Amino acid sequence: MSAPLLSVENLSISYRSEEGAVQALRHATLEARAGEAIGIVGESGCGKSTLASALINLLARNARVTSGGVMFGGRDILSLNDREKRSLRGRHIAMIFQDPMTSFNPVLTIGEQLIDFQDQRGNMPRSEKKVRAAAMLRQVGISDPSRCLDRYVHELSGGMRQRAAIAAALLMTPEVLVADEPTTALDVTMEAQIIHLLRELRRDYNGAIIIVTHHLGLVGELCDRVYVMYAGEVVEEGSTDDVYHNPRHPYTRALIACDPANIHEQTPVLPTIPGRLPDLVNPPLGCSFAARCPQATGRCQSVTPPYVEVGPRHAARCHEAAP
**CA of residue 95 relative to chain centroid, distance:** 9
Is-contact 45 277, C-beta < 8 A?
yes
CA–centroid distance for 150 within its chain: 30
Enter the pTM of the model: 0.91
Q: Where are the domains of the chain?
A: 6-92+176-317, 106-173
pLDDT of residue 115: 93
Rounded to an integer, what distance in angstroms lies between the CA atom of residue 70 and that of residue 239?
22
Q: Is 316 exposed, middle or buried (0-12, 13-18, 19+ CB in 10 A)?
A: buried
Give pLDDT, residue 172: 85
Q: CA 189, 190, 195, 198 torsion: positive or negative?
A: positive
Phi-psi group of 313: left, alpha or beta (phi > 0 → left; psi -120 to 50 → alpha; rest → beta): left
* pLDDT for res 254: 93
Name the residue among 188, 183, 211 with its Cα closest to residue 98: 183
Residue 24: phi and psi, rounded to 5, are -70, -30
pLDDT at res. 1? 65
Structural fold of domain 6-92+176-317? Rossmann fold (3.40.50)
pLDDT tens for the chain, 323 residues long, are 678 999 999 999 999 999 899 999 999 999 999 989 999 999 888 999 999 999 999 999 999 999 999 999 889 999 999 999 988 988 899 998 877 787 899 999 999 999 998 887 778 889 999 999 999 999 888 889 999 999 999 999 888 888 898 889 888 888 999 998 887 767 777 778 778 878 887 777 788 999 999 888 889 888 999 999 999 999 999 999 999 999 999 999 999 998 887 788 888 888 889 999 999 999 998 999 999 999 899 999 999 999 999 999 899 999 988 76
3-state secondary structure of 113: helix
DSSP class of 89:
B
Per-residue model confidence as pLDDT tens digits over 37-65 = 999 999 888 999 999 999 999 999 999 99
Pairing label, strands 63-72, 37-41:
unpaired
Q: What is the pLDDT of residues 93-114, one digit of tens each?
A: 999 887 778 789 999 999 999 9
Task: Give the residue from 71, 65, 72, 116 showing the smallest Cα distance to 92.
Answer: 72
